[in-house]
Amino acid sequence: MLKKILMTVVTVVSFLSWAAHAELKVDIVAGSVEPTSVAVQKFEVVSGAAVADAATIRDVVENDLKRTGLFHIVNHSAFPEFVKMDAMPAFKSWNAIRAKILVQSKLTKLSDGKYQLDFYVWDIAAQEQIEAQSLVGSKKSVRRLGHIMADAIYERLTGEVGYFDTRIVFIAESGPVDKRVKRMAMMDQDGHGLRYMSDAKTFVMSPHFSPNMQTIVFLSYYNDDPMVWILNLDTGEQRRLGQFGGMNFAPRFSPDGKRIALSLVKHGITHIYEYDIEQNVMRQLTDGDSINTSPSYSPDGRRLAFNSDRSGSQQIYIMDLDTGDIERITYGAGRYATPAWSPDGQFIAFTKMADDTFYVGIMDPRGNNERILAGGWFMEAPSWAPGSRRIVYYETERAADNIERVSHIRSVDITGQNMYEIDLPDGVNGVEPTWSPRLP
């Protein structure tokens, strides 16, 4: 039986900002910029808070910021002083080590056993405090406190939505390539806290979060019958979405969480349908004798990107859900698949197959300004982080014996820079990752 997996909610108890416009602003659009130097002080620890927990939060914040490629974490040994929370920094000293940002923090254990995390952010050049927050969370949620703190710093310095307090659901594969066990798993965006959401007996695929993070929709071959199921993350309850009279796959929630787009095979033909969860009504969106699959809603829920071979090769199309009009948007060399609309609506991520190579890239919703972000033997399933800054996808490498294959979950930003792999346990391959919205 699945356990309740959502961590204790961390409550923001206060927020103060002393500067409406910080002089320092980090450019997140340029492909190659000099990282902004950030100094994160050792935490003040009071009222019985654990020093190890404070160190964990500091590590989480530093690692989150560093992985973006936008920030350089100043070596602790270079710090010119320790600045207590009620004192002003010696700005000239911090400027001398080329620190642009200073972060002060204090971890306090409250009477009820919870933690209070207070932190200040200073702009060294402007000599002003630009951010101050106080967070409260359980002792078990120290890593999440760090992610929320990192989000606050990232958002203050870039002006963009943070994505550190998020999770990734994926299919964890293990065992020999001809006897792979596929289990649905979930982890924090940095790879920590991995837990399995399904057993090893049932073949599962295509997990996807609901917008409110309460449920996951996925494909399950329970009793060898491929059907779409929904998992309630609060209760662990699973239920079948409906009996649709054919193989169904690639389910995706609409932005309002009230509808699910999916592919359904009937009489050997694959079409895209939309299921209204509240009304229990299914409507067919595509027709003809072509293969139509991989639906992805636009952020406003009015359009649907999908791939189809109706033109003779696999390409990406956009459907207006009000009128039913369909427009092809890809005309480049190769085949295009698995479109994924960015949360801000500015991009569509895709998989491209050309010259015996797989690529992951992005384009605008009209199919223009194509940008390839990564390429390899096999890669697929791009999914967006909140804020539309990064995507996650998986890459499979062909082994020398052409039998055993290893699949990695990787992340890359929209410039094609700052790529990294999300570490998984030994013997675990990761495929079909989906990035969650920000946690509630």
What is the 3-class SS of the chain, one letter each residue?
Answer: CCCCCCCCCCEEEEEECCCCCCCCCCCCCCCCCCCEEEEECCCEEECCCCHHHHHHHHHHHHHHHHHCCCEEECCHHHCCCCCCCCCCCCHHHHHHCCCCEEEEEEEEECCCCCEEEEEEEEECCCCEEEEEEEEEECHHHHHHHHHHHHHHHHHHHHCCCCCCCCEEEEEEEECCHHHCEEEEEEEECCCCCCEECCCCCCCEEEEEECCCCCEEEEEECHHHCCEEEEEECCCCCEEECCCCCCEEEEEEECCCCCEEEEEEEECCEEEEEEEECCCCEEEECCCCCCCEEEEEECCCCCEEEEEECCCCCCEEEEEECCCCCEEECCCCCCEEEEEEECCCCCCEEEEEEECCEEEEEEECCCCCCCEEEEEECEEEEEEECCCCCEEEEEEEEECCCCCCEEEEEEEEECCCCCCEECCCCCCCEEEEEEECCCCC
Query: Which range (118-127, 235-244, 339-348) has the least confidence?
Result: 235-244
Task: Please report whether residue 3 resides in a domain.
Answer: no
Same domain flag for 139 and 198 = no
145 in the same domain as 184? no
Check whether 322 has a pLDDT greater than 50.
Answer: yes
Same domain, 195 and 149: no
344 and 240 inside one domain:
yes
The confidence score (pLDDT) of residue 247 equals 72
The predicted pLDDT at position 19 comes to 37
Q: Which two tokens stand for residue 344?
A: 């801000």
Percent of the chain with pLDDT over 70: 91
Statement to judge: residues 69 and 146 lie in one domain = yes
Answer whether residue 253 is part of any domain. yes
Pair 173, 136 in one domain:
no
Looking at residues 126-132, what average pLDDT do you find? 96
pLDDT, tens digit (0-9, with 9 covering 90-100), for 349-361: 999 999 999 999 9
pLDDT in tens, 226-266: 788 999 999 999 998 876 766 778 899 999 999 999 999 88
Q: Is the predicted pLDDT of residue 214 greater than 90, yes or no?
A: yes
Angle between helices 51-67 and 142-158 (to 10 degrees): 40
Give the global pTM. 0.91
| pLDDT score at 246 | 66
CATH of the domain at 114: 3.40.50.10070
Do both 267 and 310 map to the same domain? yes
Q: Is it the case that residue 16 has pLDDT exceeding 60?
A: no
Residues 94 and 189 in one domain: no
Q: Which of residues 158, 188, 207 is at a domain's end?
A: 158
Report pLDDT for 3. Answer: 34
**Measured CA distances, 242 to 222, 228, 260, 293 (Å):** 14, 7, 11, 19
CATH number for the domain spanning 180: value is 2.120.10.30
Structural domain total, the chain = 2
Q: What is the CB neighbour count within 10 angstroms for residue 232?
A: 15
Classify residue 440: in a domain, yes or no.
Answer: no
Residue 352 in any domain: the answer is: yes
pLDDT single digits (tens) 368-402: 999 999 999 999 999 999 999 999 999 998 776 66
Same domain, 233 and 366: yes
Does residue 327 sit in the same domain as residue 425?
yes
The identity of residue 361, as a single letter, is G
Within a domain: residue 358?
A: yes
Domain membership flag for residue 235: yes
Whether residue 82 is found in the same domain as residue 141: yes
Q: What is the pLDDT of residue 4?
A: 34
Last residue of a domain, one of 134, 158, 182: 158
Q: Is residue 5 part of a domain?
A: no
Same domain? 244 vs 386: yes
The pair of structure tokens assigned to 68 is 């973006």
- Residue 4 inside a domain? The answer is no
Rounded to whole angstroms, the Cα distance separating 290 from 293 reads 10
Q: Which domain holds residue 34?
A: 11-158
Which of 108, 134, 158 terminates a domain? The answer is 158
